[in-house]
Structure 1
Amino acid sequence: MVSALFATVSLLTALFLGGCSGSPTEPTDALAFTFDFHRGPQGFTAGFADYPAADEEIYELTSGYRSLPPPLESQSGLFISGINRSDDLFMFFKGPIDDLPPGANYSVTASVEIVTETPAGCVGVGGAPGESVWIKAGATAMEPLAVPSGSYLRMNIDIGNQSRGGEQAVVLGDVANSRRCEQSRQWERKSFEARPLPTPISIAPDGRAWLLLGVDSGFEDRTAIYFTRASVTFTPM
């Protein structure tokens, strides 16, 4: 459950004032939630999909709440890592947002901040380690889960595939940082601008929605990142 201690929740009220040169950037009663993972995991848990369940061990799937690596070690974040051995691997965190109006319909925008040591411009098996690994965000009334589909685990919501978004997830960008492949590696923060999700959300009777933070890999080797911040805005329709 999102608590007031960890999630900043603001009710954004637009005031139309005569004579103003600008216009409001947020409609009346939009709900904005910000999660700063330096302050704790805030109910977010990890999951993995798009791999054969019987072969999980060789994917070396790892997640947890950790201190950031140098030079950012004074802060913490949600760590997730895995080796893509099947042309595709989806790694994610999900977290609940509670006390929303049941039955309300919202359009949703989302943004995240990550910490990544993957440089730009490298060549890798299946794709580049930076530009062929995509960050996604989603919001759903249904809890996002990895469920059996034949011999594989697949998501129970439409997240798209690699560089493509889905009905419940939007692509925010890739994991390449500001350094080039020929330079020494260094962990850096990378922020992604807020983008709208393609499909509105209808809040479930229990008043809960789920925020999804995903990493969709087309690079056939190890990817490791930290999620350090996430924001989502629900705008009434």
Structure 2
Amino acid sequence: MNVLKLTALFGLALCFWACNNENFSISAKKTVIFDFESSEDAGWTGGVAEYAPLTPPDSIKLSIQRDTLPTGLDTTKHALHVYSRNIGTSQFTYIKKQVGGLTPGNTYSVILEIDLATNYPQNTPAGMSVLLKAGASLVEPVTSTDLKFNLSRGVGESDGTQMVSIGNISNGTARSGFVIVNKQNFSKPVSVVSDKNGAIWLCVGIESGYKGPTSLYFDRIKATISQ
């Protein structure tokens, strides 16, 4: 039997095995994009953590909802609008979404790319002291009973093992006005193991050292999940 026939037979055998093995994937990469133009993308939820214990919860006024982009941008397009108010020295607001369709128990590398509409000028307290964190986890991101956030996120510009810092929320200009800026963790992907159902949690956090409201519009969130 010549080499050509052996190659053909091997290719057929591989194809047959792949078609009958549900854990086999031709591509080791999964890309998920949320642009919030469809109501199906509005399944992101979230919470608030790391605030002072005596803070009245209703004073934070957390709101996470699909909305149109603000005036100054294309108001025919939609985004995920996240609003919260920090009345203390620090606060961590986060949004989360579970993504499935992965191989159970596999280790994945996750990169999040975010198009963010923000109106906070650079070199201002809000623009510089409110930071973004991005990452992924096996367990659901939640706030514990003692108001702590359950993922390793690092503090300030430092990175955690499950979330990393991707910069501040400034619009990159010296003036207020909404601008869409791109934030991502290309240089420091997060490693995560999928659960028994082949799912992981994506998480984006807003770490605020600014006393006052923070209002941001997530125009697009793209997750690249690779083996």
**TM-score normalised per structure 1:** 0.77
Tell me by how many angstroms 1:88 deviates: 1.1
Pick the structure with greater CA Rg.
2
Q: Once structures 1 and 2 are overlaid, which stretch shifts more, 34-43 or 153-162? A: 34-43
1:145 partner letter = V
Specify the alignment match of 1:16 in structure 2.
Answer: none
**1:190-216 Cα distance to aligned partner (Å, 9 max, x none):** 111343556521111011111101111
* Structure 1 residue ranges, 4+ long, deviating more than 6 angstroms after superposition: none
- Runs of 5+ unmatched residues, structure 1: 1-27, 123-127
What does 1:15-94 align with in structure 2 at a 5 Å threshold? 29-40=28-39, 41-51=41-51, 52=53, 55-72=56-73, 73-94=75-96
Residue 148 of structure 2 aligns to a residue whose secondary structure is: strand
* Counterpart code for 1:129: A
Asked whether 1:174 is paired with 2:168, we answer: yes
Structure-to-structure mapping, 1:76-155, within 5 angstroms: 76-122=78-124, 128-149=125-146, 153-155=147-149
- On the 8 A contact 2:31/2:224 being kept in 1, the answer is yes
Q: Secondary structure at the match of 1:131?
A: helix
Q: Quote the residue 1:205 is aligned against.
A: 196
In the alignment, structure 1 residue 189 sits paired with structure 2 residue 180: yes
Task: Select 1:220's aligned residue among 205, 211, 225.
Answer: 211
Give the conservation status (yes or no) of the 8 Å contact 1:108–1:197: no
Q: Distance in 2 between matches of 1:215 and 1:134?
A: 6
Deviation at residue 177 of structure 1 after TM alignment: 0.5
194-203 or 92-101, which deviates more: 194-203
Partners of 1:131 and 1:119 in 2: how far apart? 8
Distance of 2:101 and 2:88 partners within structure 1: 39
| Superposition deviation, residue 94 in structure 1 | 0.5
Name the CA shift for 1:110/1:196 in 2 (closer, same or farther; >3 Å).
Answer: farther
What TM-score, normalized to structure 2?
0.80
SS at match of 1:57: helix
1:71 alignment partner AA: G
3-state secondary structure, aligned to 1:155: coil
* Cα contact 1:38–1:228 (8 A) shared by 2: no
What is the RMSD computed on CA atoms of the aligned residues?
2.0
**Contact 1:64 / 1:78 at 8 angstroms: preserved in 2?**
yes
Q: Percent identity?
A: 27
The equivalent residue for 1:234 is 225
- How much does 1:53 deviate? 6.9
Q: Which residue of 2 aligns with 1:24?
A: none
Residues 103-148 of structure 1, C-alpha deviation per residue, up to 9 Å, x if partnerless?
11112222211111111122xxxxx210111111111111111111
Q: Distance in 2 between matches of 1:95 and 1:226?
A: 16
Partner of 1:159: 153
Residue identity opposite 1:165 in structure 2? D
Count of residues in correspondence between the two structures: 199
